[in-house]
Amino acid sequence: MRTCPYCAEQNREGVLFCEECGQPFIGVQAIMATSQLVNEDQVSLRGRVKWGTARFDRRAAVVVHVRDAREPLTLIPKDEIVLGRSDIHSPVVPDVDMAPYGAAEQGVSRRHAVIRRGEDTLTLIDLGSTNGTHLNGQRLIPHQPRVLRDGDEIRMGKLVFHIFFKE
Amino acid sequence: MSTEALRNLYAILGVPAEATQDDIREAYRIAARRFHPDANSNEGAEHQFRDIASAYEVLGNSQRRYAYDEERRTAGSEPAYFSLRVTPSKRVLGTLDEPQVLYLLLEIAPLRELTKQQKREVPLNLTLVLDRSKSMKGIRLDKLKIAAHQIIESLSAEDRLALVSFSDRAEVLIPAAPVIDTIALRAQVNLMRADGGTEIFHGLQAGIDECRKHLSDRFVNHVVLLTDGRTFGDEERALELANQAAAEGVGISAMGIGEEWNDEFLDALASCTGGTSTYVTSPTAVVRFLNERVRSLGDTLVERLKLCVAPDADIVLESLFKLQPNPQPMDTSPQPVPLGLLEFNRTLMCLVQLQMPPGKRTGFRTVARIDVTGNVLIAERRDYKVLSDISVEIASNPPPEDPPLPILDALGKLTLYRIQEKAQQSLQKGNAAEATRRLENLATRLLASGQDELAQMAIIEARRVASTSLLSEEGRKTLKFGTRRLLSQPDPQDPGS
């Protein structure tokens, strides 16, 4: 059971909005707030709502599209993809180097986050970065994996990009 | 091709076409254990079991299976007409020693290739059943006539149209026929005079009789009923009639205007035939709503769409709601549930609420088997079926997972509709304090989602209930249909508010 923080009603596990007062439970509100931008584009597709699947085929590729960048990056599939920025003072180079997108000014850490490939999902894990990683507007708890969906928005520091699955 | 060869029996049993007889027997045994009526008391289980048993009758017998394979091979593969996609609110559930709720979003989508094809107009077999009781006098009847005129102009000789007007008795103003002489038909519409009381049964009966005259798979067969009144004592007979009409393939859409009409009755009437029900406040809106309804009928790809949801024996089907088009709560019994029409370019969405049992077992488990059947008009294909078997994983410590946005979006709005419903239930129990609190909660949530006008209405009604223990008819209907209509708006920010 979950107790609603607003009206103290007992709700069953799995309920997303309190059945008595309609308040969204923790987490739900944040997801909805950031969804509106995405939804606006989708409304134009004759009202058909579309969202990403969380199912990730092991053979599929991951495409990263940094906001305002001209070309998206297609990543070679591997079990762990480290996102960060290269630095002349450090020998470590991440798998996806955000340095060309002004990563340093936008507060991206050298080893910022990692995309890990599971059986048929991808998860995103913040590597304890200085300025944090946000998934669809929600800040990740460092070192705690979250499932990625096709089309998700990721923000590292102030750098925003989208993840797409490519079969 | 025989009707048997058209069914994909392998899909029904969930085995590949190259399965051995042993595989097939094993698949049947598992499926039968899930859905045999003795083992599973859920309403949809029996329907699924019959399907599975009849598939096994053929595939389980190697000779009949061979004949079936041959027939399918010579017939070639059939194109797909629509698809069913099911998304659960969670893919991995935690083990719990208490029940938990799982939502499924169903999307029934016409296939892209079909929507790209040049649209073929589907001919309509349409009957308008229009209220001409005394209370319709004046602007309501005038607008109704305008709407009827526009509908006549939008139809052609391919279509069939009938018009029945009713008060305490029914008259067939336009007998069902191709729409040729539009001027004469329009003149008939003008004969409507407002007089007498409202008795829906007679009007509906005459209307369904007219629609029956041209009943055919080639047409979209539909009765559109418009009333502003409350019918007394003949509800049950009218519902019986509607059920019978549904069985024959006639859909019914109901439209209420003003404050008097019996919304529960019209809801029941429309939902038992897969039709829709709408509330129109202003007479001018009648014209738009009627036209919109007729236009969407003309966009029909699949008619007599039916949904069967069969949860596993230990899972409870709690509710079913059609989200779009035409949001509406659906009865989960009897199954299969009529969903009405599937349009060329619109996905039909439903939200299913299930209760999962408590338990400690981990691993993948089946949740429910869902199928959708319908008659594809452009191909004159009856009972085309798509099927989906849903599984989730149960784990002792599942990774955090965000529910898919469309589920959140729909559920957020659906919750508002439910609170409004609950407020009315409290009132019926005579608990005005509870009803007031619920209406206040509703107002709070409506304000938060930018629905200022509806929120205002909820506040006024909350005050009214607090002091008089009564809701106004107008307020009750506005809140009910207002919260329901939120679901058809993809964006919560209403441009008008």
Classify residue A3 by its DSSP letter.
Answer: E
Lowest mean pLDDT among A106-115, B225-234, B321-330: B225-234
What are the start-end ranges of the H helices in A2-159? 28-43
Minimal CA separation from B293 to chain A, in Å: 17
Q: How many CA atoms lie within 13 A of B218 on its CB side?
A: 6
| Strand pairing report for B160-166 and B170-178 | antiparallel
Number of CB pairs < 8 Å for A and B?
A: 117
Q: Across the interface, do B346 and A46 touch by the CB < 8 Å criterion?
A: yes
How confident is the model at residue A8, as a pLDDT? Answer: 83
Q: Across the interface, do B445 and A21 touch by the CB < 8 Å criterion?
A: yes
How confident is the model at residue B115, as a pLDDT? Answer: 58
Q: B117 pLDDT band (50/70/90 cuts)?
A: low
3-state secondary structure A28-73: HHHHHHHHHHHHHHHHCCCCCCCCCCCCCCCCCEEEEEECCCCCCE
Residues of B in contact with A46 (CB under 8 A): 345-346
Q: Across the interface, do B406 and A36 touch by the CB < 8 Å criterion?
A: no
* Closest CB from A22, A31, A42 relative to B402: A31
Mean pLDDT of chain A: 79
- Mean pLDDT for the stretch of residues B254-283: 79
Q: Which helix (H) or strand (E) holds A161?
A: strand A159-166
Residues of B in contact with A28 (CB under 8 A): 403, 408, 412
pLDDT at A11 over 60: yes
* Closest CB from A17, A20, A39 relative to B491: A39
How confident is the model at residue A27, as a pLDDT? Answer: 64
Residues 6+ apart with CB under 8 A from A160: A66, A67, A153, A154
Contact B215, B250 (CB under 8 A): yes
How confident is the model at residue B387, as a pLDDT? Answer: 86
Mean pLDDT of chain B: 86
- Mean pLDDT for the stretch of residues B135-150: 87
Q: Across the interface, do A147 and B347 touch by the CB < 8 Å criterion?
A: no
How confident is the model at residue A112, as a pLDDT? Answer: 93
* Closest CB from B100, B345, B401 relative to A46: B345
Tokens of B161: 């149209």
- Mean pLDDT for the stretch of residues B389-405: 83
Angstrom distances, CA of residue B327 to CA of B78, B119, B192, B275, B488: 32, 25, 32, 11, 7
* Closest CB from A22, A47, A138 relative to B490: A47
Q: Across the interface, do A22 and B345 touch by the CB < 8 Å criterion?
A: no
Measured from the Cβ of residue B50, the count of other Cβ atoms closer than 10 Å reads 12
Angstrom distances, CA of residue B336 to CA of A44, B44, B392: 33, 7, 24
Q: Across the interface, do B411 and A36 touch by the CB < 8 Å criterion?
A: no
Q: Across the interface, do B355 and A12 touch by the CB < 8 Å criterion?
A: yes
Instruction: Give the separation between CA B257 and CA B280, rounded to whole angstroms.
Output: 5
State percent of chain B over pLDDT 90. Answer: 28
State percent of chain A over pLDDT 70. Answer: 83
Q: A42 pLDDT band (50/70/90 cuts)?
A: very low
Residues of A in contact with B442 (CB under 8 A): 22
Q: Across the interface, do B89 and A1 touch by the CB < 8 Å criterion?
A: no
What distance, in Å, lies between the first and last C-alpha atoms of chain B? 56
Q: Across the interface, do A35 and B347 touch by the CB < 8 Å criterion?
A: no
Tokens of B258: 């003003």
How confident is the model at residue A41, as a pLDDT? Answer: 40
pLDDT at A31 over 80: no
Minimal CA separation from A96 to chain B, in Å: 24
- Mean pLDDT for the stretch of residues A81-94: 86
Over residues B273-318, the pLDDT tens digits come to: 777 777 777 777 778 888 888 888 888 888 889 999 999 999 999 9
Q: Across the interface, do B441 and A22 touch by the CB < 8 Å criterion?
A: yes
Instruction: Judge if ipTM > 0.85.
Output: no
Q: Across the interface, do A7 and B441 touch by the CB < 8 Å criterion?
A: yes
Q: Across the interface, do A147 and B402 touch by the CB < 8 Å criterion?
A: yes
How confident is the model at residue A131, as a pLDDT? Answer: 86
Q: For residue B409, what is the nearest residue in chain A, using CA coordinates? A: A32
How confident is the model at residue B162, as a pLDDT? Answer: 92
Q: B493 pLDDT band (50/70/90 cuts)?
A: very low
* Closest CB from B100, B346, B405 relative to A12: B100
- Mean pLDDT for the stretch of residues B166-179: 90
Instruction: Give the separation between CA B344 and CA B274, rounded to whole angstroms.
Output: 17
Contact B284, B262 (CB under 8 A): no
Q: For residue B102, what is the nearest residue in chain A, using CA coordinates? A: A14
Over residues A124-145, the pLDDT tens digits come to: 999 988 888 988 777 787 888 8
- Mean pLDDT for the stretch of residues A74-95: 85
pLDDT at B420 over 70: yes
Task: Mutation target for B interface from A42, A49, A123: give the one with most B CBs within 10 A.
Answer: A49
Q: For residue A14, what is the nearest residue in chain B, using CA coordinates? A: B101
Q: Which residue did the predictor score with more confidence, B493 or B230? A: B230
Contact B146, B180 (CB under 8 A): no
Task: Mutation target for A interface from B326, B342, B402: give the one with most A CBs within 10 A.
Answer: B402
Tokens of B202: 């007679």
B383 Ramachandran zone, left/alpha/beta (phi>0; psi -120 to 50): left
pLDDT at A53 over 80: no
How confident is the model at residue B295, as a pLDDT? Answer: 81
Q: B495 pLDDT band (50/70/90 cuts)?
A: very low
Q: Across the interface, do A14 and B102 touch by the CB < 8 Å criterion?
A: yes
pLDDT at A61 over 80: yes
Angstrom distances, CA of residue B361 to CA of B315, B365, B395, B396: 15, 9, 8, 9
How confident is the model at residue B161, as a pLDDT? Answer: 92
Q: Across the interface, do A51 and B441 touch by the CB < 8 Å criterion?
A: no
3-state secondary structure chain B: CCHHHHCCHHHHHCCCCCCCHHHHHHHHHHHHHHHCCCCCCCCCHHHHHHHHHHHHHHHCCHHHHHHHHHHHHHHCCCCCCEEEEEEECCCEEECECCCEEEEEEEEEEECHHHHHCCCCCCCEEEEEEEECCHHHCCHHHHHHHHHHHHHHHHCCCCCEEEEEEECCCEEEEEEEEECCCHHHHHHHHCCCCCCCCCCHHHHHHHHHHHHHCCCCCCCEEEEEEEECCCCCCCHHHHHHHHHHHHHHCCEEEEEEECCCCCHHHHHHHHHCCCCCEEEECCHHHHHHHHHHHHHHHHCEEEEEEEEEEEECCCCEEEEEEEEECCCEEECCCCCCEEEEEEECCCCEEEEEEEEECCECCCEEEEEEEEEEEEEECCCCEEEEEEEEEEEEEEECCCCCCCCCHHHHHHHHHHHHHHHHHHHHHHHHCCCHHHHHHHHHHHHHHHHHCCCHHHHHHHHHHHHHHHHHCCCCHHHHHHHHHHHHHHCCCCCCCCCCC
How confident is the model at residue B413, as a pLDDT? Answer: 86
How confident is the model at residue A29, as a pLDDT? Answer: 58
- Residue-range domains of chain B with CATH: 1-78 (1.10.287.110), 124-298 (3.40.50.410), 405-488 (no CATH)
Minimal CA separation from B279 to chain A, in Å: 22
